Amino acid sequence: MSEIREQVNRTLESATPALYAALSPLGRRMFYPADIPVQAQEARQTTFNGTIGIFTDGRGNAVPLPSMDAVLTLSEDDRNRAFLYSPVPGFEELRTLWGDWQRDDMADAPATCLPFATAGLAHALSIIADLFGGEGRAIAIPTPFWGNYRQNFELRTGAVVRSAPAYHEGRFNPRAIEEALADLPSGEPAVAMLNFPSNPGGYSPTREEREELKRSLLRIADQRPLVTVHDDAYNELVYEAGVPKRSFFWDMVGTHEQLIPIKVDGATKEFAFFGGRVGFLTFGLDLDATTTEALESKLKSISRATIGSPVATSQVILLQALRSGKAREEVEQIRAIAAERYQAIQPALAALDPTLLRLLPFNSGFFVLLEMPAELGLDPHAVRKHLIEHYSTGIVSISPRYLRIATCSVAADALPELVARVERGVRELAGRR
């Protein structure tokens, strides 16, 4: 067994030294042994195939319960795919079609690895945390950030979150990651989290800000192996003309030999398929077949050891959309509703009393982030509870003084009243009239 690991590690070390240097102890340990999935794959064409533990009709077909079968209208092939196990990296057809979806309208897209299917984006992030996190590993995340990053990297793997403000004086700070890593010894690998449109901030950088951010990341990569994680959960949900929609991942692919860009995306938000749990992990590296296999050996072993294989039924449902030729149009319809809500909330945000609530940069995504001035001394969690109790209004509170409104889950015509209630609640707790 350890011979396979040796070979996998040697391949990665010689073909992608920066990636190898950034691997955690767990990442170095993992490899995909010639276990049941490998043996079953090798025996796929045999007449008498007694390898894998799936119940079939004896001829390779699924035997779903009729009551479950009745809810899915599928071809024979897709029915088998939906009810039997998926390959650990996901269905090949889906991986290819998702790769095409990522590149839509992009004639100049650089080569990357094939997307690797996961059980939603959180699972994709956990694979990255396993591969590149671990005790003491620096992970730079501009603050405020989605709290699950900390659970995933710091609490689960022992990595150390380093932060710097995502916004300075009400403007996006393109150097936050560089500031967060400023005193990390040169040569020590690091992970950087990039999430545009962001959660909780609802912001996507402008063209100029992206240029500055790119220069900043390249300066870091001059000093150390840098894994940039591009969390594109809210891909292309950008509402202001002139702000680039295309994922920042594409700006970073192939720009520096010490930089390893990884795209995390999926059907959860992009296709409004929240319960489906289909995510993807895409390495922005142009690797030969042997190196791809070595990298996938790591990904497959982590995925199989944690979730077994990604959900087959959801992949088959997503496949129907991608094959239909209507996915772009249907996704655009959802984006149009999100854009309508963005417009609907603007007058209420513009009317906010800045001594009570300040709007942080907002041009995209699913969320508005408001900051209460420090001098009010209000605890955001107490404000949140007050709003539930006295104003029948639910929002998310984030330390030390932020309130997040999810515009995605409120009808356009209800948003102004929601904002007004938040302001009234804050005014009351601040002892103002």
What character string, x for contact with ligand PLP (CB under 6 A) and - otherwise, covers 129-158?
-----------------x------------
Rounded to the nearest whole angstrom, what is the least distance from the CB of residue 122 to ligand PLP in the complex? 3
Q: How many residues bind ligand PLP (CB under 6 A)?
A: 11
What is the chain's alpha carbon radius of gyration, rounded to the nearest angstrom?
Answer: 23
The burial of 103, by beta-carbon neighbours within 10 Å (0-12 exposed, 13-18 middle, 19 or more buried), is given as middle
Residues 177-236 touching ligand PLP, rule: CB under 6 A, are 195, 199, 231, 233
Nearer to ligand PLP, 228 or 258 (CB): 228
Which sign does the torsion angle of CA 328, 333, 334, 340 carry?
positive
Nearer to ligand PLP, 237 or 426 (CB): 237
Tokens describing residue 34: 């010639």
Nearer to ligand PLP, 72 or 406 (CB): 406
Rounded to the nearest whole angstrom, what is the least distance from the CB of residue 405 to ligand PLP in the complex? 14
Exposure string over 314-345, b if 16+ CB within 10 A, otherwise e? bbbbbbebbeeeebeeebeeebeebbbbbebb
Query: Which residue stretch of 15-23, 120-128, 370-378, 389-397 sits at the interface with ligand PLP (rule: CB under 6 A)?
Result: 120-128
Query: Which residue stretch of 116-124, 285-293, 299-307, 331-339 sits at the interface with ligand PLP (rule: CB under 6 A)?
Result: 116-124
Query: Which residue stretch of 89-97, 118-126, 216-224, 301-309 sits at the interface with ligand PLP (rule: CB under 6 A)?
Result: 118-126
Instruction: Report the distance separating Cα 213 and Cα 174, nearest Å.
Output: 5
Rounded to the nearest whole angstrom, what is the least distance from the CB of residue 12 to ligand PLP in the complex? 26
The correct pick among 266, 310, 380, 425 for binding ligand PLP (CB under 6 A) is 266
Using the rule CB under 6 A, is 121 a contact of ligand PLP? yes
Q: Is 410 helix (H, G, I), strand (E, B) or coil?
A: coil
Nearer to ligand PLP, 119 or 376 (CB): 119
- Amino acid 99 reads G
Instruction: Report the distance separating Cα 402 and Cα 387, nearest Å.
Output: 14
Using the rule CB under 6 A, is 279 a contact of ligand PLP? yes
Instruction: Report the distance separating Cα 131 and Cα 115, nearest Å.
Output: 16
Strand residues in 250-359 grouped as ranges (E): 259-266, 279-283, 358-359
Nearer to ligand PLP, 243 or 264 (CB): 264
The angle at the Cα of 303, spanning 299 to 305, to the nearest 5 degrees, equals 120
Nearer to ligand PLP, 221 or 408 (CB): 408
Please name the residue that has the structure tokens 């240029």: 211
Instruction: Report the distance separating Cα 354 and Cα 409, nearest Å.
Output: 25
Instruction: Report the distance separating Cα 417 and Cα 433, nearest Å.
Output: 19
The correct pick among 268, 291, 309, 314 for binding ligand PLP (CB under 6 A) is 268
Q: Is 335 helix (H, G, I), strand (E, B) or coil?
A: helix
The correct pick among 82, 122, 176, 316 for binding ligand PLP (CB under 6 A) is 122
Rounded to the nearest whole angstrom, what is the least distance from the CB of residue 402 to ligand PLP in the complex? 15
85: which DSSP letter? P
Query: Which residue stretch of 57-65, 115-123, 310-318, 348-356 sits at the interface with ligand PLP (rule: CB under 6 A)?
Result: 115-123
Site residues (vs ligand PLP, CB under 6 A): 120-122, 146, 195, 199, 231, 233, 266, 268, 279
